[in-house]
Amino acid sequence: MSIAELSHVSKSFGAVRAVDDVSFSVGKGEFFGLLGPNGAGKTTSIRILLDIFKPDQGSVAVMGGPMTEEKKNHIGYMPEERGLYQDIPLERALAYLASLKGLTTAQIRARLGEYLERFDLAAHRKKKVKELSKGMQQKAQIIATIIHHPDLLIIDEPFSGLDPVNTQMVKDLLRDLHRQGTTIIMSTHQMHQVEELCQRILLMNHGRVMLYGPLTEIRRRFSGHALLVRTPDGLPDLPGVISVEALNGAHRLNLTSTATPQEILKYLVDCNITVEQFEIALPTLDEIFIRVVRDQEQSV
């Protein structure tokens, strides 16, 4: 069942077409990645999904229909441009934002204490937000986004401004939420984070959809006719292999069009070569992204 769906959505600001005929749907319980360079149309797509902007064309469905005030209570949104009231104590700022998500005073008190402890902010609860470090403000923003236990979590560049320790903590938190059944849409341009966390992705560039589907399928689609082999022994001359490249202590074997991985594996075993790793060489998302963007620019 789809929890969020954009169908042939377009949106322009003046002469700039920010989003051009974009369609995608996110299933319940999915961890979905929205990828693309800066200015690709990711944030505009999210704002259209959240009913902040009205699309010029196309339709939007959230939790089975148009956005309502009630549905907003079940959505957590962390925008790329972080926003918290600067001049009031942290605890008060978070309590107010939580109250706007429909939480009662008792619920806010209980959950706020728990999250402030978990995010190591309990000692700073009385400080004004502007007195906190950038990393602390980032963590406070995450609390404001998840305190009401949303069914759908939409996060824009969640790792920007975080050090490695806090990045890991946020990753663990997102995994936890996903395990508990929260649907997550993560927009980012950090491809390796998507590779680690997401099941399906949408890659955008210049407002258009470039790639859409399960991550493994996309990587397989972009894989060349190549193998990744790790062995402590030297590699003999292998039939069906055009060239061999060294790659992070392993070997990348580029095959002829008629050679199969099974034939190569059989030949290695027959030659008594110790095989520590043998797999189809899949491209990284970074490589796919660069290839897709370059192809698009060449076609333009």
Partner 1 sequence: MNKMWRVMAYEYSRHVLRKRFLFALLSVPLWLLVMIAAAFLAVFLMTNRTPLGYVDYSGVLANPVPIDLEEGSPFTNIPILPFAAEDEARAALEAGRIQAYYVLPEDYLQTRRARLVYKEEPSSRIEDKFSAFVRRGLLARQPETVAERILDGPEFVIRAEQEGREVRSKEWMKIFAPAAAGVILATVVFSTGGYLMQAVVEEKENRTMEILVTSLSPMQIMAGKIIGLMAVGLTQVFTWSLVPAVGVALAAAYLPAFRASIDWGLVGLIFLLVMPTFVMISALMAAIGATVIEASEGQQITGLVSLPVMLPYMLIGALITNPGSPMAVALSLFPLTSALTILIRMAVATVPTWQIVTGAALLIVSAVGSLWLAGRIFRLGMLRYGQRIRWRELLASFRSAR
The residues that touch partner 1, with contacts defined as CB under 8 A, are 14, 47, 50, 52-54, 69, 72-73, 75, 77, 79, 81-86, 88, 96-97, 99-102, 144
Asked whether 197 and 33 are in contact (CB, 8 A), the reply is yes
Asked whether 222 and 205 are in contact (CB, 8 A), the reply is no
Q: CA-CA distance, 275 to 232, in Å (whole number)? A: 8
Nearer to partner 1, 44 or 282 (CB): 44
Nearer to partner 1, 78 or 227 (CB): 78
Residue 135's nearest CA partner among 97, 91, 182, 170 is 170
How does DSSP classify residue 129? G
Minimum distance from residue 44 beta carbon to partner 1 (Å): 10
For residue 291, give the H/E element and its range: helix 285-299
Dihedral over alpha carbons 235, 243, 211, 17 (to 10 degrees): 140
Minimum distance from residue 172 beta carbon to partner 1 (Å): 24
Minimum distance from residue 23 beta carbon to partner 1 (Å): 22
Nearer to partner 1, 109 or 252 (CB): 109
Q: CA-CA distance, 49 to 30, in Å (whole number)? A: 16
Secondary structure (3-state) at 133: coil
For residue 63, give the H/E element and its range: none
Residue 75: strand pairing partners: 152
Minimum distance from residue 170 beta carbon to partner 1 (Å): 18
Minimum distance from residue 184 beta carbon to partner 1 (Å): 16
Minimum distance from residue 291 beta carbon to partner 1 (Å): 33
Secondary structure (3-state) at 165: helix
Minimum distance from residue 150 beta carbon to partner 1 (Å): 10
Q: Which residue has the tokens 């401004």?
A: 161
Which residues, 6+ apart, have CB-to-CB distance to 77 below 8 Å?
46, 50, 145, 153, 154, 155
Q: Which residue has the tokens 């491809």?
A: 191
